[in-house]
A and B are shown apart, each in its own frame.
Chain A
């Protein structure tokens, strides 16, 4: 029974396993994981380091392909997407937030946000207007012309969130988004993500080992040694 009604899931995993072949060994990072993520949901993938959270995120984002099982995005099996289609999907429908922010040092805050819009084909003036609006919305307009090296960790993460929101992504994937932040800043970021899910009707999937984030999420998927434990 689907509690979300007739809507298709934004992302769906069915019996997904991911194995990496090393030089002389094989490592199974994700084992038989199944779940669905819907619009308006904030899901926490919770587990210790090495539990397979990040691998799961890359599978959900279509950045890697499962060894077994199926991953579907927006109702379509990712095996049926071409590389070009997956690239366009990321540019148009998926937003990313990384643990270490990964802002481009050579670009200003505004340009970092505009980059995503460029990838989805937004025109120059529309890019600028959108980036300005996002900076205003997150109350960080003053950072527009500054380079990442001049920003605090919290400011960088806000720019990273703005970048993830730039393309009006239906699916936002955040890998340890609070990992490099102090508690207060981390909570600020998770509140923004919560608002995005609830008010923006986005599907937000957060990977973290921080149990404190659980209270802000709709669902917690616990991982241990690549397996779902709840």
Chain B
């Protein structure tokens, strides 16, 4: 009796396979979108998260570096460094630039920083070294993979010839990747020698950060001063507001398609087996038993589909990352469990939709 749900599903192997395939694809889509989100979320702000600055000083009303512009002059930088409690105030200049390799052109988030302080430089090097001279450049790993750059290769950047000296990680913001050069080179590129996007401040040991933050604010009322946590949160919020709604929409469409596929299969199954259900009803089956059969079928398909999706997902991610290195996907056990729970919930919803069919199956059908 317990096998009824399994056997009726197995009796139509092609239909079952197609359903599991369709539902699995929806689950893979949800896995993938969430993994991409995690990858992008981490990649976009990893540069900031790993930065050793205690304070970030930007132009007034600038809240982040992902989707905002900020200009801070060298004179302002000089005044920041004179505020009591400030140990170092290092200028960083962010520019959108292009790198050309034969016919291919790639856009980068060029980051000019002072090699002496290291503040604002690549958060993590996986190959080579940090920049030392104006001819050096450090590229993000996924960008380097995509354009097949390796340490020692020449790079054409807006008419300048640089050399790749290092490969970094934690610098892939999905839509764009960071590249690192000296501040002097970046300034020369735009032709404004004293300009920076922001100043990264390290404070004297033992000095309360909040106190220094307030002092900088008072000394330079035309600038915004953020502590590390606040600035990180600002950038995360910015990234989420631009990216998350799209992911949620696509993931929601995946969940709806999953529910529709499952509801269709379960409804067709009920209609094909309506004589069975009519017999069960006539023989005195409680309604809960009939519901249980449908719910069991929904959960069986959801389970099989989740297993199939997991089997496909990881090789698929590896393949996508190989074909498109800028796509960074990160999965965690929590994410997977979360999606499986959502799938279980959607399958329950599908069974509730399909169960409505049972109401239109009548006792008298068994006497027909």
A, B in one complex = yes
Q: Using a CB–CB distance below 8 Å, which chain A residues touch chain B?
A: 54, 57-58, 61, 63-64, 87-92, 94, 96, 98, 102, 104-107, 111, 114-116, 118-120, 163, 167, 175
In the complex formed, the residue of B with least CB distance to A83 is: B287
Which of B4-12, B141-149, B300-308, B314-322 contacts the other chain?
B4-12
6 A-B pairs besides A64-B364, A91-B286, A107-B1 with CB distance below 8 A are: A63-B364, A87-B286, A104-B4, A114-B1, A118-B289, A119-B286
6 residue pairs from A and B, CB less than 8 Å apart: A58-B364, A63-B363, A63-B364, A106-B7, A115-B285, A120-B284
How far does the alpha carbon of A98 sit from the alpha carbon of B367 in the complex, in Å? 7
Contact of B282 among A96, A106, A107 (CB under 8 A): A96
Which of B14-22, B238-246, B273-281 contacts the other chain?
B273-281
Knowing A104-B276, A116-B283, A119-B284 touch, does A175 contact B1 (C-beta < 8 A)?
Answer: no
Give the one of A91, A106, A115, A119 with max B CB within 10 A: A106
Q: Does B336 touch A at the CB level, under 8 Å?
A: no
Give the one of A61, A89, A90 with max B CB within 10 A: A90
Is B283 within 8 A of A90, CB to CB? yes
How far does the alpha carbon of A91 sit from the alpha carbon of B284 in the complex, in Å? 4
Contacts of A107 in B (CB 8 A): 1, 3-4, 7
Knowing A102-B279, A106-B3, A114-B1 touch, does A57 contact B367 (C-beta < 8 A)?
Answer: yes
Q: Which 8 A-B pairs have the closest CB atoms?
A: A91-B284, A90-B284, A106-B7, A63-B363, A119-B284, A54-B367, A102-B279, A111-B1
How far does the alpha carbon of A136 sit from the alpha carbon of B289 in the complex, in Å? 28
How far does the alpha carbon of A91 sit from the alpha carbon of B275 in the complex, in Å? 18
How far does the alpha carbon of A175 sit from the alpha carbon of B363 in the complex, in Å? 14
Q: Using a CB–CB distance below 8 Å, which chain B residues touch chain A?
A: 1, 3-4, 7-8, 11, 275-276, 279-280, 282-287, 289, 363-364, 366-367
Contacts of B367 in A (CB 8 A): 54, 57-58, 98, 175
Contact of B283 among A54, A57, A64, A119 (CB under 8 A): A119
How far does the alpha carbon of A175 sit from the alpha carbon of B364 in the complex, in Å? 12
In the complex formed, the residue of B with least CB distance to A167 is: B284
Contacts of B286 in A (CB 8 A): 87, 91, 119
How far does the alpha carbon of A98 sit from the alpha carbon of B279 in the complex, in Å? 10
How far does the alpha carbon of A58 sit from the alpha carbon of B362 in the complex, in Å? 12
Give the one of A64, A87, A167 with max B CB within 10 A: A87
In the complex formed, the residue of B with least CB distance to A111 is: B1
Is B282 within 8 A of A63, CB to CB? yes
Knowing A106-B7, A107-B4 touch, does A98 contact B366 (C-beta < 8 A)?
Answer: yes
Contacts of A58 in B (CB 8 A): 363-364, 367
Is A91 within 8 A of B1, CB to CB? no
- With both chains docked as a complex, state the minimum distance between the C-beta of A160 and any C-beta of chain B, in angstroms: 10
Is A102 within 8 A of B1, CB to CB? no
- With both chains docked as a complex, state the minimum distance between the C-beta of A87 and any C-beta of chain B, in angstroms: 6
Contact of A102 among B3, B285, B366 (CB under 8 A): B366
How far does the alpha carbon of A196 sit from the alpha carbon of B284 in the complex, in Å? 21
How far does the alpha carbon of A102 sit from the alpha carbon of B280 in the complex, in Å? 10
Is A106 within 8 A of B289, CB to CB? no
Is A87 within 8 A of B284, CB to CB? yes
How far does the alpha carbon of A104 sit from the alpha carbon of B293 in the complex, in Å? 14
Contacts of B280 in A (CB 8 A): 104, 115, 119
Contacts of A119 in B (CB 8 A): 280, 283-286, 289
Is B275 within 8 A of A102, CB to CB? yes
Contacts of A98 in B (CB 8 A): 279, 366-367
How far does the alpha carbon of A114 sit from the alpha carbon of B283 in the complex, in Å? 12
Knowing A87-B284, A91-B285 touch, does A118 contact B363 (C-beta < 8 A)?
Answer: no
How far does the alpha carbon of A24 sit from the alpha carbon of B8 in the complex, in Å? 39
- With both chains docked as a complex, state the minimum distance between the C-beta of A57 and any C-beta of chain B, in angstroms: 7
Contacts of B279 in A (CB 8 A): 98, 102, 104
Contacts of B7 in A (CB 8 A): 106-107
Contacts of A89 in B (CB 8 A): 284
Is B363 within 8 A of A64, CB to CB? yes
- With both chains docked as a complex, state the minimum distance between the C-beta of A70 and any C-beta of chain B, in angstroms: 20
In the complex formed, the residue of B with least CB distance to A95 is: B283
How far does the alpha carbon of A138 sit from the alpha carbon of B367 in the complex, in Å? 25
Is A116 within 8 A of B284, CB to CB? yes
- With both chains docked as a complex, state the minimum distance between the C-beta of B1 and any C-beta of chain A, in angstroms: 5
Is B276 within 8 A of A106, CB to CB? yes
- With both chains docked as a complex, state the minimum distance between the C-beta of A199 and any C-beta of chain B, in angstroms: 24
- With both chains docked as a complex, state the minimum distance between the C-beta of B288 and any C-beta of chain A, in angstroms: 10
- With both chains docked as a complex, state the minimum distance between the C-beta of A186 and any C-beta of chain B, in angstroms: 19
Is B283 within 8 A of A115, CB to CB? yes
- With both chains docked as a complex, state the minimum distance between the C-beta of B209 and any C-beta of chain A, in angstroms: 67
Contacts of B4 in A (CB 8 A): 104, 106-107, 111
How far does the alpha carbon of A107 sit from the alpha carbon of B366 in the complex, in Å? 17
How far does the alpha carbon of A106 sit from the alpha carbon of B284 in the complex, in Å? 19
- With both chains docked as a complex, state the minimum distance between the C-beta of A144 and any C-beta of chain B, in angstroms: 14
